[in-house]
Amino acid sequence: MPLAGINVADILFSQENQKMGQVVYLGLCLLGCLILNPLVEGAANRTQSARAHCPPGAIFYRKYCYQYFSSSLSWDEAEVSCQKRHGSQLASILSAREANFVFHYLQNQGSSDVWIGLSLQNIWEWSDGSDLSQPLWDGKRINTSTYAGECVSLTPSGSRKWIQRSCTAALPFLCKYKGTYYA
């Protein structure tokens, strides 16, 4: 029933539509955050979020900075070089998602075979102490019939695989370390 030319049902319907619009708007904003968050986390230093910092040339992904070095060193020399830079180590790759991220980063760097932090001294282990899971992120099992002094390199092009080889081979390398955060 209209009151002074105003229909109460129209007012209630309008208020419900306004509330529904606000809920939909908020939901779309949250959805946008979920979609864009991985892009922000994996962005290069020049476009990354202000919440994390990696040095120029490095890239941020899930709390860590990854930095590719094109100079060819033995695995041991590469590990020492990483330790001198931000207390990092050769990169451990602990999941298929992380492997995919690393592959894309290395492909953008134009690299071929790259040292990562997996080596056989007495047992297969990551240089940063992370747990080694079998099978590895590429679905293969590591060859346990090799001799100490074997290390693993990553081939980011084409087949995206890891290769067991002598640790004395000289290759470019990938370091990984915790990113610094801003409040």
Kindly report the CATH number assigned to the domain that includes residue 163. Answer: 3.10.100.10
Q: Which of 13-27, 59-73, 125-139, 150-164 has the lowest mean pLDDT?
A: 13-27
Place of tokens 């081939």: 155
Same domain, yes or no, for 36 and 97? no
Residue 87 structure tokens: 């207390």
Tens digit of each residue's pLDDT (9 = 90 or more) over 73-125: 999 999 999 999 878 999 999 888 898 899 889 988 888 889 999 998 778 88
User: Are residues 164 and 143 in contact, defined by beta-carbon separation less than 8 angstroms?
Assistant: yes
Mean pLDDT, the chain, whole residue set: 76
State what percent of residues in the chain have pLDDT above 90: 29
Residue with the bigger pLDDT between 37 and 86: it is 86
One domain, residues 36 and 73: no
Residue 55 has pLDDT above 80, yes or no: yes
**What pLDDT is stored for residue 32 in this prediction?**
54
Instruction: Quickly count: other Cβ atoms within 10 Å of residue 105's Cβ.
Output: 20
> pTM for the full model?
0.68
The alpha-carbon radius of gyration of the chain (Å, integer) is: 25
Same domain membership, residue 149 and residue 72: yes
Tell me the C-alpha distance between 1 and 28, whole Å.
Answer: 37
Is residue 131 domain-shared with residue 107, that is, in the same domain? yes
Question: Are 71 and 95 in the same domain?
Answer: yes
Q: Which residue has the higher pLDDT, 20 or 122?
A: 122
Q: What is the residue range of 98's domain?
A: 45-181
Whether residues 22 and 83 fall in one domain: no
Q: Kindly state whether residues 89 and 158 are assigned to the same domain.
A: yes
Shared domain check, 124 and 94: yes
Contact 125, 117 (CB under 8 A): no
Whether residues 30 and 54 share a domain: the answer is no
Give the least confident one: 27-41, 76-90, 131-145, 155-169.
27-41
Verify that 22 and 49 share a domain, yes or no: no
Q: How far apart are CA 162 and CA 168, in angstroms?
A: 16
179 pLDDT more than 60: yes
Q: What is the pLDDT of residue 175?
A: 96
